[in-house]
Amino acid sequence: MANNKKIKTKKLARISYESIVKDDNPILREVSKEVEWPLSKTNLAIMNQMIDYVRSSQDPVEAKERKLRPAYGISAVQIGHPLKMTYIRIENDQGFEAEEFALVNPKIVSQSKKMAAFKNGEGCLSVDIEIPGYVVRPYSVKVIAIDHFTEREVEIEAHGITAVVLQHEIDHLSGIMFYDRINKLNPNKIDPKITQL
């Protein structure tokens, strides 16, 4: 569900799309470090920058004004900090509240046998070109993490789009890019049993 926790943007050094680390930078291949809780002032600022970028990128007016590329999520390493923090916001197209997660030290603890893939492939703020091919991932995952909004450890059971986005962002924390998971020999071939999202 959506979290209405406001962040103070007055003193926040706001991220531009140009400041996102691109995939030719070796930092994206680093394994991110565990983060101490509660967040230090520096790490709190990083989390707030991520929240601000994604929320703003999903607002058509603000995204246009700030020239932001829309995003479902972002991880700290994508703004130059290889730390295990990520922020995800999935808008719901059926009138329900958005799903929103600001996670510290997230870890996937279980996953479904059922698999899924975005029918149009995955994209990434750190990748400027479209890379065709299916990225097949578990349809459902269970994630444990510290939730920045509630300030407690949470267990998230996610399915479909939310599960895929969580996996994409948690991959960043292990130095894995989405295109690493595309079948190099048959990028556009997909088993009919795999759910297309």
Cβ–Cβ < 8 Å for 75, 166: no
Cβ–Cβ < 8 Å for 132, 24: no
End-to-end CA distance of the chain: 20
Task: Report residue 107 as tokens.
Answer: 């870890």
Residue ranges of E strands in the chain: 73-75, 85-90, 99-111, 115-117, 137-138, 140-147, 152-159, 195-196
- Out of 99, 100, 122, 169, pick the active-site residue: 169
Cα 87 to Cα 94: distance, rounded to the nearest angstrom:
22
Phi, psi at 20, each rounded to 5°: -70, 135
Task: Report residue 80 as tokens.
Answer: 């130059």
If we measure between CA atoms, which residue out of 174, 162, 154 comes closest to residue 30?
Answer: 174
Whether 91 sits among the annotated catalytic residues: the reply is: no
Name the residues annotated as catalytic.
169
